[in-house]
Amino acid sequence: MLTEEVGIVMDEPIPFQRVGAQFKISGWIPESWLETSIGPIPTVYLDFIDIEGIAFKCTSVHVVSFEKCVIDGTKMIKFWDGAILDECNAHFVFKSRGRITLKLCGQKRDCQIYVPVIIKLPWLYSFPSLRKILRHRKIGSIIAKYESDLKEYNEALERLDERRKEKNCILKEDKYVPIQHMYARDVMEIAGGLLEILENNKNFNRDYPFRSEDREEKRLARKYRKAIAWRGPLLGGIFGRLNGFEFNLYSDDHGKHFHIIHRGRGINARFSFPDIRLINYKQAKSSISSKETKRIIEFLNRPEVYEKMTEEFSKRDGV
């Protein structure tokens, strides 16, 4: 008889434990949660999340491969490490009045644990509001709702792209997102007045074939505005999309690289710039095939896309 697999088991900290700026993290994770399509990866990812659900620090926890046990029929492996919060994290800790959450996960998709903790520091002299206390208790379910909404939003955008392709007489085998539509998918540009421009130019508007798709996209942006706002600080500057992949430049990243993300497949890959090549994976729940990599590189080397990417790097570096 099959039994349900045990999830991550925490030794320390326990939920709502009061800790300082430095504390220990340890527990047990199912061995199966470390398996990927390219073999086991002995890494437990650790995110520090503030009261608004924003991950302000992302790192990993050491896995002790030789310490194993069985809990309720599930093979488990030990993990442990020390957590340190410094002055770079002070803003988020203060904003949350010490109510932060630890998210731990392995390589297996949609399997994680949220551990709320309370940071006790001398300069945290004010008490949290009732809203913060209640929100602290359900931050995991709040994030799950945001992720679900973003999945629906991205799926709806893909359907709109298909409608645009059909109207533009693009062959089915050509799966590239037309560059003029890729920019239309940027929520900030839509909010900045795309429809207003179209409506003010009556002659152009009469012949413009994508009016209904643009209106629907604006409606979707309003419907999922909370999830989009939550996503923003995590993804940074989005300069393009292709077949479910998002091309992002994080504002706090260093070095000439950017990220290619596919939320549905759990991919977060680093690519180099100005030469476009795959460096490694931040998370390896799935991988990008060689065929997909080739097509992504071809797409990013298109002059109009490459120019947009160069602009994003210039913005980040203050050039």
Q: Annotate 72-126 with DSSP letters as a single string.
A: TTEEEEEEEEEEE--GGGHHHHHHTTTEEEEEEE-SSTT-EEEEEEEE--TT--S
**Nearest in space to 76 (alpha carbons), one of 148, 7, 154:** 7
Check residue 15 and give left, alpha or beta (phi > 0: left; psi -120 to 50: alpha): beta
Question: What are the structural domains of the chain?
Answer: 9-137 (2.60.40.10), 173-317 (no CATH)
Amino acid at 156: A
| Count of Cβ atoms closer than 10 Å to residue 101 Cβ | 24
Say if residue 270 is exposed, middle or buried (CB neighbours under 10 Å; 0-12, 13-18, 19+). Answer: middle
- In this prediction, residue 9 carries a pLDDT of 94
Distance of CA 222 to the CA centre of its chain: 20
Nearest Cα to Cα of residue 280 among 288, 291, 271, 267: 271
Q: What whole-number distance in Å separates Cα of residue 309 and Cα of residue 271?
A: 12
At residue 186, the pLDDT reads 45
Residue type, 82: G
Can you name the residues that pair with 262 across neighbouring β-strands?
267
Are β-strands 17-19 and 112-119 bridged in parallel, bridged antiparallel, or unpaired?
A: parallel
Structure confidence at residue 138 (pLDDT): 94
As a whole number of angstroms, the distance between CA 12 and CA 76 comes to 16
Residues 17 and 8: beta-carbon distance below 8 Å: no
Q: Mean pLDDT, 10 residues at a time, over the chain (319 residues)?
A: 72 95 94 83 89 87 90 93 89 91 86 92 77 93 90 84 70 42 42 47 55 86 87 58 76 73 77 88 73 87 83 72
List, in sequence order, the alpha helices (H) in 115-224: 130-137, 139-167, 179-184, 187-191, 194-200, 202-207, 211-223
Per-residue model confidence (pLDDT) at position 274 = 86
Rounded Cα gap, residues 296 and 245, in angstroms:
9
Question: What is the C-alpha separation between 319 and 314, in angstroms, rounded?
Answer: 5
Nearest residue to 108 (alpha-carbon basis) of 11, 26, 5? 5
pTM confidence score: 0.62
Angle at which helix 225-235 crosses helix 211-223, to 10 degrees, equals 80
Is residue 198 a contact partner of residue 205, using CB atoms and an 8 Å limit? yes
The two structure tokens encoding residue 86 = 């410094």
Round to whole Å and give the CA distance between 18 and 264. Answer: 35
Position 140 scores a pLDDT of: 92
